[in-house]
């Protein structure tokens, strides 16, 4: 038995291909629809915003897609990321379970997001694009894309939700340090922003508005494209680099995985760690239990129907079939900015529907208690989003103790919390509260789901 706590691969072991779970699905994904006609959209509908290489990845059914050398070269700055066995946490929980975690907080932006940011910037540059626009809420995605654009010699413009722009000056400074430009949204630069400001000059902004601004600029300029940090198939594909590495590291650990746990906002860090394991199961090679942990205040997978909906609040995107709380749902102000999305990646939603993924939800007080216990045993302070995964893993470890079974649990520690310490301060001051599942508001938002032809 290997008794090391840390399992490292050298840089020659960075995966050479991403894993595409669409190749192993028993039934294909539901098509993405044009909201006007109700018909499936084609590549030409996406071409004003995305490069053809990414549009092809969106619909590809190849099992493996090569990672370009230039992308692997940048991945070398932080990949392969370490995999740890949480022996001190196991001891504190007095559990027979073996708990492992893959740590994505070692990336320059401090989360898993650069895994796709670098790939997206690369493919855009290949097709002659010189500038990317995007939105950011808490700032994780904006800082990852700004870093990626900087490495590839591209410009980056980030529409940052105004309330976060004012409350998160350090993420803003990170975006600027990497050379990106940050604009508080709503802004006067776009007609979408100007229309909102005309009605409400003090509007504090929302992700939906920021998406509308970023998309408007990208759609209107031939040298500019738009980049999204989660939800879409190609984003989830790029994140599988984490699960593929984890499989090799588990071999070094002379163990394998019985349960995979990750938090879900749009679904990308979850897909990254889980899809290679789910693929193995779908091919009949090895069974695995997979748990998606979401916040109880934004319970997309556990309470939302599997239905066609818009990806944004302004109802500008094509319709995707996914678990959704309705595109007008605004979750209460809990402390995990990255988990506040009304929808969920169609691929993750599909796998919940087929029973290959088990969703669960945790309240934020349980999540923060888990994060603090993790910090005090393992020494890493997780991002508030990642606390949900820690809480999910702890629940499984306690279940093992109660049942007297020894299972191996792997979770994705998708980011560190060094720029989110205000959330911890509020937690220690007793200012955090558990929000009840906002049933009335969700019913209202769901009543507005778009009608689609059968």
Ligand X SMILES: *Cc1c(COP(=O)(O)O)cnc(C)c1O
Give the one residue of 263, 298, 307, 362 binding ligand X; rule: CB under 6 A. 263
The span from the CA of 360 to the CA of 172, in Å, is 32
Residues that contact ligand X, how many (by CB under 6 A): 20
Which helix (H) or strand (E) segment is 370 a member of?
Answer: helix 364-378
Residue 378 binds to ligand X (criterion: CB under 6 A): no
Beta bridge partners of residue 292, listed in sequence order? 262, 359
User: Applying CB under 6 A, which part among 199-207, 214-222, 251-259, 378-386 lies near ligand X?
Assistant: 378-386
33 binds ligand X (CB under 6 A): no
Positive/negative CA dihedral, 266, 271, 273, 278: positive
Stretch that binds ligand X, among 70-78, 311-319, 370-378, 381-389 (CB under 6 A): 381-389
Q: Give whichever of 74 and 109 is closer to ligand X, judged by the CB atom.
A: 109
Binding pattern to ligand X, positions 336-365, x when CB under 6 A?
Answer: --xx--------------------------
By CB under 6 A, the residues from 56 to 115 that bind ligand X are 111, 113
Q: How far is the CB of 110 from ligand X (least distance, A)?
A: 8
Closest to ligand X by CB, 136 vs 225, is: 136
Q: Which long-range contacts (CB under 8 A, 24 or more apart) does 201-205 make?
A: 203/162, 204/161, 204/162, 204/163, 205/161, 205/162, 205/163, 205/164, 205/165
Give the x/- contact pattern for ligand X in 216-255, rule: CB under 6 A.
Answer: --------------x-------------------------
The first and second tokens of residue 286, run together, are 């090895």
Out of 225, 264, 300, 349, which residue is the one contacting ligand X (CB under 6 A)?
264
Question: DSSP characters for 167-229?
Answer: H-HHHHHHHHHTT-EEEEES-SSSHHHHHHHHH-TT----HHHHHHHHHHHHHH-TTEEE--S
Nearest by Cα to 280 from 255, 251, 257: 257
Contacting residue, 182, 192, 383, 410, with ligand X by CB under 6 A: 383
Distance of closest approach, residue 250 Cβ to ligand X, in angstroms: 21
Q: How far is the CB of 126 from ligand X (least distance, A)?
A: 24
What is the contact surface with ligand X in residues (CB under 6 A)?
111, 113, 140-141, 230, 263-270, 338-339, 383, 385-386, 414-415
């Amino acid at each position: 038995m290997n008794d090391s706590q840390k399992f490292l691969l050298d840089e020659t072991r960075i995966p050479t291909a991403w894993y595409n779970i669409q190749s192993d699905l028993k039934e294909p994904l539901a098509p993405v629809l044009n909201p006007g006609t109700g018909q499936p959209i084609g590549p030409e509908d996406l071409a004003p915003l995305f490069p053809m290489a990414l549009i092809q990845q969106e619909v590809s059914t190849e099992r493996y897609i090569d990672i370009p050398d230039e992308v692997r070269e940048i991945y070398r700055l932080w990949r392969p990321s370490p995999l740890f066995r949480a022996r001190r946490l196991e001891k504190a929980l007095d559990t027979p379970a073996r708990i492992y975690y893959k740590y994505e907080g070692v990336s320059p932006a401090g989360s898993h997001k650069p895994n796709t940011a670098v790939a997206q910037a690369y493919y855009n540059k290949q097709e002659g694009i010189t500038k990317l626009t995007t939105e950011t809420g808490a700032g994780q995605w904006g800082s990852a894309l700004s870093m990626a654009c900087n490495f590839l010699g591209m410009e980056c413009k980030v529409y940052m939700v105004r309330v976060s722009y004012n409350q998160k000056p350090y993420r803003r400074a990170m975006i600027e340090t990497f050379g990106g430009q940050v604009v508080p949204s709503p802004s006067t630069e776009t007609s979408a922003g100007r229309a909102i400001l005309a009605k409400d000059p003090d509007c504090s902004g929302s992700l939906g508005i920021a998406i509308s601004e970023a998309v408007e600029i990208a759609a209107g300029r031939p040298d500019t494209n738009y980049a999204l940090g989660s939800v879409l198939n190609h984003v989830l594909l790029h994140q599988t680099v984490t699960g593929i590495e984890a499989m090799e590291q588990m071999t070094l650990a002379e163990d394998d995985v019985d349960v995979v746990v990750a938090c879900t906002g749009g679904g990308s860090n979850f897909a990254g760690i889980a899809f290679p394991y789910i693929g193995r199961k779908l091919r009949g090679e090895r069974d695995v239990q997979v748990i998606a942990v979401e916040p109880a205040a934004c319970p997309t997978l556990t309470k939302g129907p599997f239905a066609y909906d818009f990806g944004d609040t302004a109802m500008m995107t094509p319709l995707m079939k996914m678990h959704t709380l309705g595109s007008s749902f605004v979750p209460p102000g809990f402390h995990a900015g990255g988990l506040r999305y009304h929808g969920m990646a169609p691929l993750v939603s599909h796998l919940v529907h087929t029973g290959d993924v088990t969703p669960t939800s945790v309240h934020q007080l349980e999540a923060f208690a888990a994060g603090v216990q993790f910090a005090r045993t393992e020494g890493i302070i997780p991002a508030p989003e990642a606390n949900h995964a820690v809480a999910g893993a702890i629940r499984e470890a306690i279940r093992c103790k109660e049942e007297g079974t020894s299972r191996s649990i792997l979770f994705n520690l998708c980011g560190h919390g060094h720029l989110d310490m205000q959330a911890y301060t509020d937690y220690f001051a007793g200012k955090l509260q558990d929000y009840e599942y906002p049933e009335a508001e969700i019913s209202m938002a769901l009543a507005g789901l778009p009608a689609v032809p059968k």
